[in-house]
Amino acid sequence: MKKLLLTLILVLFALQIFAQNITNTLGDNGFFYIKDATATPNTWFTLQESNGYVGIGTTNPTYKLEVNGNIKASHFGLDATGYFQTQTIDGSTEDIVIACDNNDFFFYERESDFYQFNIGGAAKLRIQANGRVGIGTESPDAPLHVSGSVGISSAASYFNSGTNSQLYWSNPGTFNVTIRASNDIMAGGSIVATSDKRVKENITELHHSLDLIGKLRPVSYNKIDKVEQGNRIKYGFIAQEVEEVIPNAVNTGKGEIPVLKPFESVDFEAGVSYTLLVKNGDDIVEQKYTTKDPRPEGEIIVKSKTVDDFKSLTYDMIFTVAVDAIQEQQKQIEELKAANLLLAQKLQVIDELKVELVKLQKAFENKDLQAPNNQIRLTTLENK
């Protein structure tokens, strides 16, 4: 009975404490604190009278609820359905779903037909309800629609299982690129390029392309980076050689040149950016490095170095020159065919003259050549 009475007294006392205005003895200049009892107490909870702000782990909350530290919960929800409600610019509220399930992250508006990330007030990534994805556009009209460009100047492993590293490409410069791929692009259909006359000016026909094509050197080659690019033989051209023949087909900008050596084996150049592959345990991290940076910890391969004069080819320009060269060559073939036809006609006339001469020779030999017939034959020969 005494225990029950004591419990009731403590409960009533606690209710009385929480019923007090925080400006009274439990308050401290308009704040109510819950602290520990150490010599330099930590403040675990703060309630601010003037605005009702609540702080956990902070003595000066600046929002309705401010937490200094991590939050862990089985789920969140501010309404009966478990959705976050956020206020929009016009003052209305929208339900936002934020969830993580089996390592998948979800973030979307419950009532909208799209999911969008904005940075600086502009849409950077948008996913429509129909599955279309827009990068740099709010109205994707294809399964993947990428708008905008930037200036551009694998399953295999880069490391051996032993102590020595095995030996590897990425970055931006001066010509515009919308999508950059470090390896092949596969398409089930055609790759289509716009070519409408209405977007072009200064249209002129090509000339002397046959001479240009004759100066190009087709080659076969392998890529140095066998891990990322594979070891398959490729066919193509050398950009530096093409630049001497068709300069407009070559682009120059920033790019990565393979180094593929252990860190200690590289003679680093001052002011040059390198890409390192740093291995610590089972983790392999790609990071940038210059001679001003400290050496990272772990096993390191220098994958590549950045250059400002990296060459790339616009192959459709070479294709266009090749088409003009074929047309030029076809014109030459047609001219040769016409010349051959004329020559064949002349040879036929010569053959006919030979036949007539043989007949005349036989007539003289037989001494039966008649004057009228002779005149007719001579006239025929003259006409031919």
Q: What is the C-alpha separation between 45 and 61, in angstroms, rounded?
A: 10
Q: What is the C-alpha separation between 26 and 22, in angstroms, rounded?
A: 6
pLDDT band at residue 232 using 50, 70 and 90 as cut-offs: confident
**CA atoms lying within 13 Å on the CB side of residue 115:** 14
Q: What is the C-alpha separation between 191 and 316, in angstroms, rounded?
A: 12
pLDDT band at residue 156 using 50, 70 and 90 as cut-offs: very low
Q: Which residue has the tokens 């391969």?
A: 301
pLDDT by residue (tens digit) across 243-288?
999 999 999 988 899 999 999 999 999 999 999 999 988 888 889 9
Q: What is the C-alpha separation between 109 and 124, in angstroms, rounded?
A: 17
Closest by CA to 308, choosing from 212, 116, 171, is 171
61 CB burial (10 A radius; 0-12, 13-18, 19+)? buried
**In one letter, which amino acid is 286?**
E
pLDDT by residue (tens digit) across 202-215?
999 999 999 999 99
pLDDT band at residue 96 using 50, 70 and 90 as cut-offs: low
Closest by CA to 112, choosing from 94, 124, 125, 100, is 94
DSSP character at residue 203: -
Give how far Cα 107 sits from Cα of 92, 93, 110, 112, 381, Å. Answer: 19, 16, 9, 12, 98
| Averaged pLDDT for residues 85-100 | 56
Take residue 278 and report the two structure tokens written for it: 């740093």
Q: What is the C-alpha separation between 64 and 85, in angstroms, rounded?
A: 15
Please report the sign of the dihedral spanned by the C-alpha atoms of residue 205, residue 210, residue 216, residue 221: positive
pLDDT band at residue 189 using 50, 70 and 90 as cut-offs: confident
Per-chain mean pLDDT for the chain = 76
93-101: strand order across its sheet: 84-87, 93-101, 104-109
Q: What is the C-alpha separation between 72 and 69, in angstroms, rounded?
A: 10
What local confidence, expressed as pLDDT, does residue 23 receive? Answer: 37
284 CB burial (10 A radius; 0-12, 13-18, 19+)? middle
pLDDT band at residue 233 using 50, 70 and 90 as cut-offs: very high
Q: Which residue has the tokens 């983790």?
A: 283
Instruction: Please spell the DSSP secondary structure of 285-320, one letter per residue.
Output: EEEEE-TTSPPPSSEEEEEEEEEEEEEEE-HHHHHH
Local structure of 232: helix, strand or coil: coil
For the chain, what are the domain ranges? 2-67, 84-150, 155-180+220-313, 324-383
Q: Across the strands, what pairs with 26?
A: none
pLDDT by residue (tens digit) across 59-80?
888 888 888 888 775 555 555 4
**49 Cβ contact partners less than 8 Å away, ≥ 6 residues apart:** 22, 23, 27, 30, 31, 32
- Give the distance from CA 137 to its chain's centroid: 16
Are the CB atoms for 261 and 224 separated by under 8 Å?
A: no
